[in-house]
Structure 1
């Protein structure tokens, strides 16, 4: 990562992540597909759950970002033993914090979803799904943060395999547990949550074996309190702002879902399908957001700013080209996609309307996501947090609300594109300014020495 060809290095790190992300994203898409076969009410119910589930996932992502950034920087500086101690503390920290957040969401389940616009018809299905999903949240923490430890060490292939296997297990168990077969009863929407919990549990055993025994990247024991505080402090310094930035997305998503809910259950169902398809359409962006930060962090630790700038610009160009291609494909296949997820024509029409408009902004959204990841990789978590606040609460929500108010659901969808474009310009110019500043500071420091 410090000396190799930049395009080749990023390609080798990203390709396994793309394959893994495809499988990982099948969790929500496959769940949505099979649950949609139960009916529109069940589909709307699982659509309501996305902001809450993503809040828990975002905490894991933030802790993973902090873990990866700190470990990669120390590895770039040659401090491997310190990196091992930090990895151990990060694993313990993630379990504690995710368990606490999951418990809080479980206790406040009813008021949270009622505030989002859920009604007496959808609420029983939401409780069935989220009750199991939240209680199994601890199973998600270990694989996600553990995979960040592996990526910080330059290994993106193993995390890819782990995520691919977990997605495969979920996809196999979903129809069995939702609809039942032979001695296995039909659990309905609960079955989707059970399948996810089982898949995560398998990955917990796998990642702990790899990290503690086979690779010895973490201590095969619990740290004492003093060592835990010392090891986790650096992770929290970056991880908490990063988690906060990521958790703002589902909070904003909950607000947008409440706005969409004013257009009826069919609109919520269509929004839920579109949101999950967005994850698949943005696979390259999400893969780069995991492979780029370790590259940047190691070069940040080695003060190689020219490599950081080259990698960032390469990723920006790649994302814009790829996401435009995805936009064209989604337009071409929109009628077929809507038919897969919905039987009612009104729901199909709204899904197609979403796919004709919203994906046009995915390239701009990709620039924001990767810039945010780059800020965290360079130990600028507050910049990432401020960027997220600007994007979601100064641009996205106000513009979406105004678009909805003036032009209905059509205006809401176009507002998503406009908001992403505005924030993409801001984030790109901001990061370029930081690169120029650090390059000038580096030249001055070298000349002084």
Structure 2
């Protein structure tokens, strides 16, 4: 998430049009990231259950198959996005002048996407094996590399020319490359979670089916989020590029504000899957409830901090008064429901960990297309940009209550 936020900050220094351009890219980039997240969820659930059942060789096969499967699927999706680049962003409401900036960023970003997915899947394998420090180190180090390279490549220094949006994309891809090399080394040499690089085709198909049974619905559920974001971006585009720019910055701030939730959504599933494999359903229930209570308290504290810092945060990202006004309203309203959003995310990941991916998909559809988008649209009709934010809040309240009580009923069937 720091990649997106750092890119957004430095690109915002180029101007409002460039900031709007990077904001338009969010639904598309997050679509590929969502596919990778879904595959990592399937990888984590399958590998953790195998390890919890004492099937180490099966876990190694699952790990290798997951890496190859993720590279194949993400590369295909990236190629499709490249072919449809202009139609996608024109449909989202990008103007021709902004589209030029979008192309500068997205062509390179898509070309390097394979280097992003491998560390994500590798980190999921390590977490499934109980290793959390190395995944943190890999992602943090890559984020630092990106932050160092961004200003150098965007604005230029010495013999390095200023490359603008193109420089931001190159910085991101280079930082992914560093994570790509390190994670493969750690999996193969340090942890022995991969015993070889190739596998028989029949075994690859068998492993892929297991992972896709959970990973494909999980990826589909995750990819609904950028689809909904695309609709919301199109709604924002009706209020002008300033609204799009503010919404794009707010979405990236939201990703950063929800880091703890996202961390729990990645570390809770291996705990649930391992105890699911061992038949310890009381621990499954306790872990879920503990995480839900924690995110409500954590996000309430975080809201207070964000609300107090709304003015300086807006000033960091823009000197356009209209963009700053929209962004402050985003900060004052949207984080009110981040704790409830956390319950939704944790419930989704917990369903996947119990090998019930269809329920996670249903919950995502309910949240995004029965509650989130319709209520945001209605709020916009009634109250403009601020009304869109209020509609999102109401949607999270309704969905969080539904998610929590539904999960409790599912657990009663296992107990």
**TM-score clears 0.5:** yes
Q: Provide the residue aligned with 2:380 in structure 1.
A: 404
| Distance (whole Å) between structure 2 residues aligned to residue 304 and residue 206 of structure 1 | 35
- 2:60 aligns with 84
Q: Give the CA deviation at 1:261.
A: 0.7
Question: Residue 167 of structure 1 is aligned with which of 129, 136, 143?
Answer: 143
Q: Is 2:247 aligned against 1:310?
A: no
Structure 1 residue matching 2:87: 3-state secondary structure: helix
Structure-2 residue corresponding to 1:364:
340
Counterpart of 2:240 in structure 1 is 264
Q: Tell me, what secondary structure is at the counterpart of 2:309?
A: helix
Counterpart position of 1:128: 104
Identify which of 168, 187, 191 aligns with 1:215: 191
Question: Which residue number corresponds to residue 389 of structure 2?
Answer: 413
Give the secondary structure class of the aligned counterpart of 2:384. Answer: helix
1:201-212 paired onto structure 2 within 5 Å? 201-212=177-188
CA–CA distance in structure 2, aligned partners of residues 321 and 64 of structure 1: 27
Give the equivalent residue in structure 1 for 2:254.
Answer: 278
Query: Deviation digits for residues 187-242 of structure 1, max 9, x if unmatched?
Result: 10111110110011111111111112222111322112111111221001100000
Task: Confirm or deny that 1:63 pairs with 2:74.
Answer: no
1:226 — aligned with what?
Answer: 202
SS of equivalent residue, structure 2 residue 97: coil
Which secondary structure state, in structure 1, belongs to the residue aligned with residue 199 of structure 2? coil
Misfit runs of 4+, over 2 Å:
none
The whole-number CA distance in structure 1 between the counterparts of 2:97 and 2:398 is: 38
For residues 219 and 61 of structure 1, the distance between their equivalents in structure 2, rounded to whole angstroms, comes to 24
Counterpart residue number, 1:106: 82
Q: 1:349 aligns with which of 325, 340, 344?
A: 325
Task: Choose which of 297, 310, 333 in structure 1 pairs with 2:273.
Answer: 297
| Residue matched to 2:9 | 33
Mapped partners of 2:330, 2:209: distance in 1: 43
Deviation per CA, 1:5-64, whole angstroms, max 9, x where unpaired?
A: xxxxxxxxxxxxxxxxxxxx2101110000000000000000000000000000100000
Out of 384, 392, 395, the residue aligned to residue 371 of structure 2 is 395
Equivalent residue, structure 2, for 1:423: 399
Using the TM superposition, give the Cα deviation of residue 299 of structure 1 relative to its aligned residue in structure 2, in angstroms. Answer: 0.3
Equivalent position of 2:121 in the other structure:
145
Structure 1 residue ranges without an equivalent (≥5): 1-24, 440-449
Residue 380 of structure 1 is matched in structure 2 by 356
Q: 2:301 aligns with which of 312, 325, 338?
A: 325
C-alpha separation in 1, matches of 2:207 and 2:255: 33
| Offset from partner CA, 1:41-95 (integer Å, 9 cap, x none) | 0000000000000000001000000000001011111111111111110100000
> 2:410 matched to 1:434?
yes
SS at match of 1:325: helix
1:65–1:376 contact (8 Å) kept in structure 2: yes
Q: Secondary structure at 2:345's aligned position in 1?
A: helix
TM-score under structure 1 length normalisation: 0.92
Which residues of structure 2 form unaligned runs of 5+? none
2-structure distance, mates of 1:26, 1:127 = 22
| Residue 287 in structure 1 maps to residue 263 in structure 2 | yes
Q: TM-score, normalised by structure 2?
A: 0.99
Q: Quote the residue 2:176 is aligned against.
A: 200
8 Å CA contact 1:260, 1:409 repeated in 2: yes
8 A contact 1:213–1:220 mirrored in 2: no
Query: How big is the shift at 1:406?
Result: 1.4
